[in-house]
Structure 1
Amino acid sequence: MIKIVTLIVALGALAAGVMLFSQLNQKAPVEFALHYQQARDIKSFELTDHLGEKFNNESLKGQWSWVFFGYTSCPDVCPTTLQEMNFIYDDLKAIAENNQVLLVSVDPKRDTQEKLASYIGYFNPEFKALHGNHGALFPFARNLGLMYAITESDIAQQANSDAIENHGATATNYLVDHSASLVLINPAGKVEAIFKPKQALGAVPVIEGDKLVSDFAKIVALY
């Protein structure tokens, strides 16, 4: 009888130990990002970076890539997001050294290579800015689950001179609506997750750096 009781106690202790070990080693779930259970493929694309080098699917391989759509004339979302990414960049590299932050310009009319180089370098010399025509940008944006739209007026679009105005808009003075989300692409070159900004009525959408870093650590552990 004593042997049976001892055996039962031992089996109970073993089961409890297995459960505790399992709980301690269970990887924490992602809390804030939209994390795909199966990473999404990215169709073939080709853009150009701010140094004039080609940037395509192969350029994503071996890196954790943070992709953000914006433009240099953006008054609020873009500089706020890039500034936040600069603040947390060292934290991201502490989790995984192979990080790259990519600003994809949705304003090819005004964002020249030289302008992009000066703009992106202001935030961090390691960040990259990419550009291309709308024929390359639109399908790339859709593939990543992002969007953008030129809000330039029809009159401003057709203007041959900046002097032709329509309620303050000119051929070189317009805004571009674009997603404020960040797309995380894994080292295999596939979409791993999307980080959406914090939205508040009347406020600029902002990426919350602490939440991004927290979830990135979990995503890397799960990868």
Structure 2
Amino acid sequence: MSAEQARGAERDAERDAILAALAPIVEGIAATFGPVCEVVLHDYRNPEESVVAVAGSVTGRTVGGAMSEIGLRVLARGDEATDELNYVTRTRNGSLLKSSTMVLRDSTGAVFGALCVNVDIGAVRQVHTLLGALAGGGAAPAEPPTTTFGNDIDSVVDALVDAHQSRQRGSWAELDRAERLELFGGLDARGVFAVRGAVEQVAARLGISRASAYNYLSRARAAHDTPTGGTA
């Protein structure tokens, strides 16, 4: 075993130990808050099966399930990722959640996973809205974004592609070059292409060849890396 392999094995052993130590905490947090709470422990070394422990059943996650859109976003940021606390989102079936995603780092500071807490606040939000109406309160709060939570990474990737397309003016054939690059750049920023086989999946979803998808991804990354005011 080379020195580099030995360091890698030591790093993996440390990460495994951190995950093992956190597993009982997952159960404890969920038990404290009751049936409206779900706690999920992720190992980002395997995005397609990142869920290594789960307690509660707010989003229907199971051990061996894939990371969500939020996890892909954290993965895309790499070691620059930071905790995302107390954000509100909505599941595809309409449940309203308040969530926190806390990144896990090893002793070198490298991000390798996350501890996520999801609390179903739908009933609380309804009571708040009712009380606000009775008291003559202001406008209703802004609609939170919809997030795909699934045990299948393919469904998460498909949802992100659909979301980006819905914000553009039409089908792939109707997009100009800049819009196509924007689509691939946006998907890349959301961590989609960190998933094995995602380029092929996106190509199939858009009805283009794998070669074209790789070409647009390469150009989108090159455009992102070009300094403002520089030349391509």
Length-normalised TM-score, structure 1: 0.26
More helix by share: 2
Query: Considering only CA atoms, is the larger Rg found in Structure 1 or Structure 2?
Result: 1
Length-normalised TM-score, structure 2: 0.25
Higher relative contact order (CA 8 A, sep 6+): 1
